Structure 1
Amino acid sequence: MQHIVTLLIAILIFGLIIGIHEFGHFIVAKLNHIQVNQFAIGMGPKILHFQKGDTEYSLRLFPIGGFCAMEGEDQSSDNPNAFEKKAVWRRMTVVLAGAFMNLVLGFLLIAILISTAAKVPSTTIAKFASDTNAAGETVTAAESERSGLQVGDKIVAIDGSHIFSTTDLIYKLQTTDKASYDVTVKRNGAKLTIENVTFHNDKTDGLLDFAVQGKAKNPVTVISYAAKDTVATAKLIWMSLIELVTGKYSLQDLSGPVGTVSVIEQAASTGETILERVQSVMNLTIFITVNVGVFNLLPIPGLDGSRFVFLLVEAIRRKPIAKNREAMVHLIGMAVLFLFMILVTVQDVGRFFQ
């Protein structure tokens, strides 16, 4: 029964993320008076479909993709409402709209999560870990306090990398193999950098040796933090992609749809209450949707980022690249991406049976 529930949650998450992405392309295309021939959620055989106006809407069997097929997108068309007939800047907005909507979804989910919390997190130090010595006196258990950090310091950067939210802060400390850091803080209205700061909690033997302040919850603080945390999550994903390319992570560290379902099952069982489990699933959904948004902006053939590059070249040279050549590039790119997905899925299945 648990596996069925997990599968349903996974289908809901994939459908939401794919649907919001394709809806972004769809609605901006409509706003630019571009004819949309097909709008589909999922891939493969149609489960449900209907025609409304010029557009066929369909729900398909496999929830691992979707598409928004526009007239004149990959082939020439004499239709005045064809994609290729519109101004370059209009086509650019259509291409970028999918990734943008994924980031918007991440922002909205973060805002909802913060709204369920008692306080809005910050990067300002509220207190340090403490302990009791042999004489019964309360002493610090935080190495970062001994290194020079103080209560009230707002952490704005670590080793030159800007800290937008607690997501940034935790990621930086947990993924960097360093003994000490250069921490830039805002103290008494002025910025200063404290060198060779070590983070260590004597009581827990962990890195997090301080707690951050919580701000009062209101529309301004919630929206502000949600925006910062969306940027922080996108930055985290971008840094992970760089680390993958530079060899810090290998292909064995990647997961496809099957592996993601396994992670969703873990998230759905994390927490003692239903609210905590829902929050855990929402956190994972935030990461996935922002990941989809960032990844789609990469200039890889077949992705939105590549289509944007072709439009940018067209805008610079004032002449479009031949449709057949562009279509071939995207076709090869999609074939490689599907092959890559198959390899990662096989790897996920192997892990499952192990």
Structure 2
Amino acid sequence: MLTAVTAILVFFLVVIFHEFGHFIVAKLVDIKVHEFSIGMGPRLAKIKKGETEYSIRILPIGGYVRMEGEDEASNDLRSFNNRPILSRAAVLFAGAFMNFVLAIIVFSIIAYVIGVPTTTINKVTPNFPAEISGLKSGDKIIQINDKPITKWEEIVSEINRGKNKELEITVLRENEKKKFIVKPVLDKQSNRLMIGIVPKSKKSVLYSIKIGIERTIFVIGMMFKFFQMLFQGNVSTKDVVGPVGIIYMVGEAARVGILNVLSLIGLISVNLGFFNLLPIPALDGSRLMFLLVEFIRKKPIEPEKEGFIHFIGFVFLMILMIIIAYKDIIRFNVFR
């Protein structure tokens, strides 16, 4: 039950952000929106406000914003196909953009909860170099060798730059400067040098947002790397999971704690945003490609032909999803 509820909430949150991006930009550029739907399949509930119907459907595996003239010809001046190319491109890109925004939000929340590591030692690990040399909890590291220290990342950098050599660490202890000679040791698990200290942390909204942005950019970079490896033949089907696999991972994360669930939300959101920008029929990236062709040709492709191509792409994606779901069921032994 915990897995099911958590998975539904995760899917709904990611989908809502994605579809809200399409929806709000469509409204801003004055495109007529017939329906804003969260979920797929039979409708569970609906409410109509103005010209738009808002609905929740039974399968929490997607959603859509149905706009006038998106996949068919329309003479309505407010139809999707009658708006300027830049306006349509903004609508299409907005879904992925909001997924990246969601990732930044959840990664920032995680960073804020964990806190910003400072240069003050919270505790020293027993029998490690820091304790043996005389460093104590409360010491504020202000210099390592000749390098002034202002943030935790500089401490980590200087320790690893030492290459197992002794470090002269200067600290403030009760407003008095003290120097200690510390020789880092290699941690076999992380394969990094360490001296055995844990920093005190403080809360910082701006720093947390910075970390959220950096983490999102890092995950996007990993997505590019994944597809590079895919084209090079270095990725197998075991490295890809579908909705069933995601639900399994959400359940595992929920058992560990809320921060793990938030981290998974960020990863899923970036993946959804990135994947939707790929030039695959039925995805936003493909629609953006059609706009580029229209810009080059100075005239649009017939909506019915474009719609048919997207329909073929949608069928292909559904078949692919079923195949991946079957592999997930076997791999994770869902019905054990």
For the superposition of Structure 1 and Structure 2, which TM-score range results when normalised by the shorter chain?
Answer: 0.7 to 0.9
Residue 204 of structure 1 is matched in structure 2 by 188
AA matched with 2:239: D
Gap change, CA 1:103 and 1:213, over 3 Å in 2:
farther
Residue 282 of structure 1 is matched in structure 2 by 262
Range moving further from structure 2, 344-353 or 67-76: 344-353
Gap change, CA 1:313 and 1:53, over 3 Å in 2:
same
> What is the root-mean-square deviation in Å for CA atoms of aligned residues?
3.3
Partners of 1:236 and 1:306 in 2: CA distance:
22
Partners of 1:151 and 1:202 in 2: CA distance:
24
Residue 103 of structure 2 is matched in structure 1 by 106
Residue 239 of structure 1 is matched in structure 2 by 225
Q: Check conservation: 1:6, 1:261, Cα contact below 8 A.
A: yes
User: For 2:36, what is the secondary structure of its paired residue?
Assistant: strand
Residue 323 of structure 1 is matched in structure 2 by 303
AA matched with 1:340: L
Gap change, CA 1:338 and 1:117, over 3 Å in 2:
same
Residue 37 of structure 2 is matched in structure 1 by 40
Q: Check conservation: 1:120, 1:222, Cα contact below 8 A.
A: no
Residue 220 of structure 1 is matched in structure 2 by 206
Q: CA deviation at 1:21?
A: 0.5
Partners of 2:198 and 2:22 in 1: CA distance:
40
Gap change, CA 1:57 and 1:137, over 3 Å in 2:
closer
AA matched with 1:19: I
User: For 1:76, what is the secondary structure of its paired residue?
Assistant: coil
Of the two, which has the highest radius of gyration? Answer: 2
1:11 pairs with one of 8, 12, 16: 8
**Which runs of 5 or more residues in structure 1 are unaligned?**
123-128, 139-149, 157-165, 167-199, 271-276
Residue 26 of structure 1 is matched in structure 2 by 23
AA matched with 1:241: F
Partners of 1:201 and 1:246 in 2: CA distance:
38
Aligned residue pairs: how many? 289
Residue 278 of structure 2 is matched in structure 1 by 298
Instruction: Work out whether 1:312 is the aligned partner of 2:292.
Output: yes
Gap change, CA 1:212 and 1:300, over 3 Å in 2:
farther
Q: Check conservation: 1:114, 1:120, Cα contact below 8 A.
A: no
Partners of 1:8 and 1:250 in 2: CA distance:
30
Partners of 2:273 and 2:42 in 1: CA distance:
26
Q: TM-score, normalising length from structure 2?
A: 0.77
Partners of 2:298 and 2:118 in 1: CA distance:
48
Q: What whole-Å deviation, never above 9, does each CA across 1:270-309 have from its counterpart, x for those lacking one?
A: 2xxxxxx110110111100011111111111111011011
2:61 pairs with one of 57, 64, 77: 64
Q: CA deviation at 1:85?
A: 0.9
User: For 1:100, what is the secondary structure of its paired residue?
Assistant: helix
Q: CA deviation at 1:242?
A: 2.2
Q: TM-score, normalising length from structure 1?
A: 0.73
Q: CA deviation at 1:44?
A: 0.5
Instruction: Work out whether 1:92 is the aligned partner of 2:78.
Output: no
What are the within-5 Å matches in structure 2 for residues 145-184 of structure 1?
none
Q: CA deviation at 1:131?
A: 7.4
AA matched with 1:221: Y
